A and B are shown apart, each in its own frame.
Chain A
Amino acid sequence: SQTIHQWPATLVQPVGSPLSLECTVEGTSNPNLYWYRQAAGRGLQLLFYSVGIGQISSEVPQNLSASRPQDRQFILSSKKLLLSDSGFYLCAWGFSSADTQYFGPGTRLTVL
């Protein structure tokens, strides 16, 4: 069976500091991978998605970036965090473009 991991689970960072969140998937090959953000009281916002190694599509212009250095690894980064970057960051995977997306446990980020 497939499992998805995210770390860290919680993170408190000062404004202007860098960020690196990691997501890995086990039990499948060549998954589609997604990064979402959920701000307090708001819906899920798609940030990035990837259909293969090195292939990243950005949905929202902002100070975040994503990379996929390996088939089952997806990384979300920032060089300088803003207060507005606080939120619940969720990684998700799916088999193909027509399939369900399954979410990892998430990282709760607080920027102070």
Chain B
Amino acid sequence: GQNIDQPTEMTATEGAIVQINCTYQTSGFNGLFWYQQHAGEAPTFLSYNVLDGLEEKGRFSSFLSRSKGYSYLLLKELQMKDSASYLCAGRTGGGNKLTFGTGTQLKVEL
């Protein structure tokens, strides 16, 4: 399995940009996912990276560097509704199992 590391908490201001980092073990790596989870709710899919580079989806972008075992989620033009936990998850090998990090709790303030 994977060891997924991400910061526990972050705080940012409405309208700003925030970057949430995630590091993982590179051995057997085969894809990295980002999910958003609001308090008391199920995670919802945000992005998926399997190759190096940046994937952009509106205000959200995700970057992957496979050689460095590093990914980040970039949130632009922050809104209060972006306050949530952001989960990084890695897949290894040819299977269908994901290993999740403990999540980064983002608080957006006025």
Seen from chain A, the residues whose Cβ lies within 8 Å of a Cβ on chain B are 32, 41-46, 49, 51, 59, 90, 94, 96-106, 108
Interface of A is mostly: loop
B42 in complex: contacting residue of A43, A100, A105, CB < 8 Å: A105
The number of residue pairs between A and B whose CB atoms lie closer than 8 Å in the complex comes to 48
Q: A94 with B42: in contact, given A42-B102, A43-B102, A43-B103 (CB under 8 Å)? A: no
Determine the chain B residues whose CB is within 8 A of the CB of A105 once the complex forms: 41-42
Residue B33 is within 8 A (CB to CB) of chain A in the complex = yes
The answer to whether B97 touches A103 (Cβ under 8 A) is no
> How many Å lie between the Cα of A46 and that of B26 in the bound state?
20
Determine the chain B residues whose CB is within 8 A of the CB of A100 once the complex forms: 33, 45, 48
The answer to whether B33 touches A49 (Cβ under 8 A) is no
The answer to whether A43 touches B87 (Cβ under 8 A) is yes
What interface size band does chain B fall in?
20 to 34
6 closest A-B pairs (Cβ-Cβ)?
A97-B96, A43-B102, A44-B100, A103-B42, A43-B100, A106-B42
Determine the chain A residues whose CB is within 8 A of the CB of B94 once the complex forms: 97
Determine the chain A residues whose CB is within 8 A of the CB of B35 once the complex forms: 103
A102 in complex: contacting residue of B45, B89, B99, B103, CB < 8 Å: B45
Seen from chain B, the residues whose Cβ lies within 8 Å of a Cβ on chain A are 4, 31, 33, 35, 40-45, 48, 87, 89, 94-103
How many whole Å from B2's CB to the nearest CB in chain A? 11
Q: A90 with B42: in contact, given A43-B102, A44-B87, A101-B98 (CB under 8 Å)? A: yes
How many whole Å from B79's CB to the nearest CB in chain A? 22
> How many Å lie between the Cα of A43 and that of B35 in the bound state?
12
Determine the chain A residues whose CB is within 8 A of the CB of B102 once the complex forms: 41-43
How many whole Å from B38's CB to the nearest CB in chain A? 12
How many whole Å from A9's CB to the nearest CB in chain B? 11
The answer to whether B45 touches A96 (Cβ under 8 A) is no
